[in-house]
Structure 1
């Protein structure tokens, strides 16, 4: 999720977590793509949100860290609005600014000045972020840490000094009339190095370099002591390199030496000195200088611009890496706020410190019902627990009675809770899972080679091998594609094996006999136990309410007949 040199608002810096990736099949079975489409229209953002939700860790501190950040973001809509505006501005500058110019492209003064404008805008954005995050209502470790991280980047990149320099030294392109460049020469008047002295609002009085050169050396008193520019509007060639250091020379470079004490900047600043080729191949110094002066400006500007970018972009890149994480929280906060206004119930999850893989969900419902615009008053909420006596549920009930809806709802609760997000329930306490595995009916085209039962067996064995006591397993109609007798024996052995692994499981099935055998399977003496969970019916009507109880009769055959439309009434269309 993060590298060793960066900050994250998704994970504490002191955690070295192990993450497990939800499979594409599990994401599909849980309906994550439907949820993410509701969060944002931006495909890139949807991919980022899906990646965060599906990258799971059982670390309890990480889950708490995330939900504290989300609590702050959810409670402060003005923070969401302002940060979104700032992120959009930073992304616009990055995508369309002068930094996108190819390194080999000719770069002139306009691009340098434009770059100064961009850097000023960057600095103002960072300052605004720091101001937003200084809100005393922000209490989460993640956002207070993010503020400290911004402060550190701001100081290390010398943004305060740089902003002062930009405001003092920045001039509009229309005001520039000349540029003063210093050139160091050797005894043969060959240019050996050069640097930018000043940007001027007045043109030079003389434009011919030869006449300027002649004026400069026509008398001894015209040769200047030292290398500081004396204000004359013509070039002065220096007799030889002085003993002053390069860094001393660069103190005249428009005040940018406010950052000279930064170790990582010294090399960049020195790079504003352009080394010129010399040697016996250069025979005419005046011709050589004339040739160089035609190109020197672009070269110097490019080096200066790259120097500025080097120390500013270090901070900007680290900040922009956090934008996707922040947008993740913002999009979910907007979603929860929107659906709360519509009357839907959400609560903040509570992470349990228990060694047991416990869960207590009160008033839970499947979020997809809300996404399908079912009014909250029409949604049937349920209570469900996981503990030692209720680790594996065999869920039975009438066809279209809500078994799959409940199974999916439990998976979504864990995904959202571990992502730090408020969950669709009145209360939810849980111990995080390391991953969620789903075994829902496969598409026809995936079963051509092995057949449906063969495909189901292979897929279940793979899941069983990967899952741990910290996992959540959701089985939907598993082993129901063969005869009842064959499916029952495979399913019973599978459940007994899951008891040994102590895996939190919901097994949604029509095999009522499997649920009836719960007490007998519990005699094996495993640490986890199996319970029969039913979708209760009231006088034959579906209530969509679950209850821990023995199966309500042997309705398997009738449910299967209804599922495939082969009851008498369905076949004859009689009412």
Structure 2
């Protein structure tokens, strides 16, 4: 989009580097599910996914997008009207394209239809300008887009073209005749033709032979100027099988004869229509009516192509921006819909400097919103990334919300950097250059290396790619082996991540790893590791997270009691069944 001159997604003054999130990451964060909730159209889902999965750490891009999105979110009438105009543009383009093959045979009549289409194009562009001018735009992107439309409108000379179309506009049903001028060579062979006028009356029939003879015999009848002065007779050429006209022309000097010679210009030869064999004129003459039709078709095609060229200056460039508008419009409709249901969203604030790289207040997982009836069903959390909390070791009871909060953080960054409002009361953040996830792999992906081997290889690749500006989300990594082996690998991995200062949430059941956070923090020059727990109150999951020491074995007791495998529950069951 940016290469074509303008974009409301990619600011032209920012030379940013973009990275593509992996398919695994998009799936782990549930972005595919989120896209399907935002739009029912598969093409639009792919469009939205393509935008949000390409991210950059440049805060200027996020701010540019945020401003555009807020303008579109604040103006529901703008969204509705722009969608209608985009649908109309798409219909005109598709309708025109569907008639390409037949258009070649429609000649002058198609030119009239093309003028209608061009007039509709111009009206769409004017309506788009009016629509944007009626709103109090605040974003740099939409203000620039309005200026961009003005520039294209003027460059395509749409104002002048609209006036010309109004003057040339003649309904097809009213057209009774067309006046043309034919240029000939010294052998009176037709070489080119131009349109003189479109008439609402038919020419009156006159004596063909006498008028033609007068025209070619009297020097006084030969005009010295090419411009038509209105002094002209109508010479009708009838489609007669006996070819009287052709015979007459042949007998009066062969002015319209065309020799069968390789030296004849190919363009002239292309206008020849052979007469039937045996009539004495084979290879010598052509029917004037067919010549006129062919030359008229060629002339109309040139006029049509010229009109299309000017129309494409504006239409093609504007049409290329339609997907970008659709991206914002679909998200705005989605946010508006859930805001009306009581769900809370806020504008994200991108920062480039400071010790705090994320400060989220009352955030929640966007995926929960599409599965809950009301906001009261969702538990919100606060979380901060700063110099003292760069890596979190997250522990808690099974099904206590560890994966949900891990996923929520990733979605927050994806939405914020896409310019979209985020599910929270407030969200300040330093944009990430990429998001990497390490969630449990499907069984069929671990056949060759085994689960632990696959986890190690995948983690090594992720670690090599991530930087201090990345976001790393680990979900039960290295949990497919014995506790001793998994703990050894996990501890070394966390130490290595700390050396890169990568913002990380490591969701794990290894409470010992979280308990050794202080020991890991003794490494010089490393980022700080903190223990983050999902609170459990009297055995009940609260789904609230806070910084604190892991609660350890109490979680195992919760699980055992839930599934009836404590000594008391097991022996009571045994006694009951006897």
Q: 1:458-537, aligned counterparts within 5 Å?
A: 458-537=457-536
Q: 1:154-553, aligned counterparts within 5 Å?
A: 154-206=153-205, 213-231=212-230, 234=233, 276-277=267-268, 287=286, 291-354=290-353, 356=355, 358-553=357-552
Note if contact 1:380-1:544 (Cα within 8 Å) is conserved in structure 2: yes
Hey, what's the Cα distance between the residues in 2 that align with 1:212 and 1:357?
94
The 3-state SS of whatever aligns with 2:408 is helix
Indicate how the Cα distance of structure 1 residues 210 and 486 shifts in structure 2: closer, same or farther if over 3 A, else same.
Answer: farther
* 1:196-234 deviation per Cα after TM superposition (whole angstroms, max 9, x unaligned): 222221222248987654332231221123112233564
The 3-state SS of whatever aligns with 1:469 is coil
Hey, what's the Cα distance between the residues in 1 that align with 2:151 and 2:2?
17
Note if contact 1:68-1:141 (Cα within 8 Å) is conserved in structure 2: yes
What corresponds to 2:44 in structure 1? 45
Indicate how the Cα distance of structure 1 residues 199 and 312 shifts in structure 2: closer, same or farther if over 3 A, else same.
Answer: same
Hey, what's the Cα distance between the residues in 2 that align with 1:98 and 1:234?
40
Segment of structure 1 superposing worse, 177-186 or 18-27 = 177-186
* 1:275-299 deviation per Cα after TM superposition (whole angstroms, max 9, x unaligned): 94379x9998863755522412222
Hey, what's the Cα distance between the residues in 2 that align with 1:358 and 1:14?
25
Hey, what's the Cα distance between the residues in 1 that align with 2:529 and 2:340?
39
The 3-state SS of whatever aligns with 1:377 is helix
Note if contact 2:353-2:430 (Cα within 8 Å) is conserved in structure 1: yes
What corresponds to 1:70 in structure 2? 69
* 1:246-284 deviation per Cα after TM superposition (whole angstroms, max 9, x unaligned): xxxxxxxxxxxxxxxxxxxxxxxxxxxx994379x9998
What corresponds to 2:250 in structure 1? none
Indicate how the Cα distance of structure 1 residues 233 and 179 shifts in structure 2: closer, same or farther if over 3 A, else same.
Answer: farther
Indicate how the Cα distance of structure 1 residues 299 and 234 shifts in structure 2: closer, same or farther if over 3 A, else same.
Answer: farther
**Structure 2 unaligned runs (5+)?**
236-264, 274-280
Instruction: Give the TM-score of the pair, scaled to structure 2.
Output: 0.87
The 3-state SS of whatever aligns with 1:334 is helix
Hey, what's the Cα distance between the residues in 2 that align with 1:442 and 1:564?
26
Note if contact 1:192-1:275 (Cα within 8 Å) is conserved in structure 2: no
The 3-state SS of whatever aligns with 2:5 is coil
Indicate how the Cα distance of structure 1 residues 107 and 291 shifts in structure 2: closer, same or farther if over 3 A, else same.
Answer: closer
**Once superposed, what is the RMSD of the aligned Cα atoms?**
2.7
Q: 1:50-129, aligned counterparts within 5 Å?
A: 50-97=49-96, 100-102=99-101, 105-129=104-128
Note if contact 1:183-1:195 (Cα within 8 Å) is conserved in structure 2: yes
The 3-state SS of whatever aligns with 1:10 is coil
Segment of structure 1 superposing worse, 151-160 or 215-224 = 215-224
Indicate how the Cα distance of structure 1 residues 286 and 490 shifts in structure 2: closer, same or farther if over 3 A, else same.
Answer: same
Segment of structure 1 superposing worse, 539-548 or 224-233 = 224-233
Note if contact 1:351-1:430 (Cα within 8 Å) is conserved in structure 2: yes
What corresponds to 1:240 in structure 2? none
Hey, what's the Cα distance between the residues in 2 that align with 1:508 and 1:210?
99
Note if contact 1:499-1:528 (Cα within 8 Å) is conserved in structure 2: yes
Instruction: Give the TM-score of the pair, scaled to structure 1.
Output: 0.87
Hey, what's the Cα distance between the residues in 2 that align with 1:515 and 1:198?
88
Hey, what's the Cα distance between the residues in 1 that align with 2:355 and 2:447?
41
Cα offset for 1:183?
A: 1.5
Indicate how the Cα distance of structure 1 residues 161 and 559 shifts in structure 2: closer, same or farther if over 3 A, else same.
Answer: farther
Note if contact 2:436-2:473 (Cα within 8 Å) is conserved in structure 1: yes
Indicate how the Cα distance of structure 1 residues 290 and 102 shifts in structure 2: closer, same or farther if over 3 A, else same.
Answer: closer
Indicate how the Cα distance of structure 1 residues 289 and 275 shifts in structure 2: closer, same or farther if over 3 A, else same.
Answer: farther
Hey, what's the Cα distance between the residues in 2 that align with 1:307 and 1:565?
81
Note if contact 2:75-2:135 (Cα within 8 Å) is conserved in structure 1: no
Cα offset for 1:311?
A: 1.1
Hey, what's the Cα distance between the residues in 2 that align with 1:285 and 1:229?
30
The number of aligned residues is: 535
Indicate how the Cα distance of structure 1 residues 294 and 140 shifts in structure 2: closer, same or farther if over 3 A, else same.
Answer: closer
Note if contact 1:357-1:504 (Cα within 8 Å) is conserved in structure 2: no
Hey, what's the Cα distance between the residues in 1 that align with 2:233 and 2:500?
86
Cα offset for 1:36?
A: 1.2
Note if contact 1:191-1:278 (Cα within 8 Å) is conserved in structure 2: no
Indicate how the Cα distance of structure 1 residues 495 and 524 shifts in structure 2: closer, same or farther if over 3 A, else same.
Answer: same
Indicate how the Cα distance of structure 1 residues 42 and 563 shifts in structure 2: closer, same or farther if over 3 A, else same.
Answer: farther
* 1:357-376 deviation per Cα after TM superposition (whole angstroms, max 9, x unaligned): 61000000011111002421
Cα offset for 1:381?
A: 0.5
Hey, what's the Cα distance between the residues in 2 that align with 1:73 and 1:293?
54
Segment of structure 1 superposing worse, 66-75 or 561-570 = 561-570
Hey, what's the Cα distance between the residues in 2 that align with 1:99 and 1:309?
15
Note if contact 2:495-2:520 (Cα within 8 Å) is conserved in structure 1: yes
Hey, what's the Cα distance between the residues in 1 that align with 2:454 and 2:346?
39
Hey, what's the Cα distance between the residues in 1 that align with 2:458 and 2:211?
85
Note if contact 1:399-1:563 (Cα within 8 Å) is conserved in structure 2: no
Larger Rg: 2
Note if contact 1:190-1:288 (Cα within 8 Å) is conserved in structure 2: no
Cα offset for 1:567?
A: 6.5
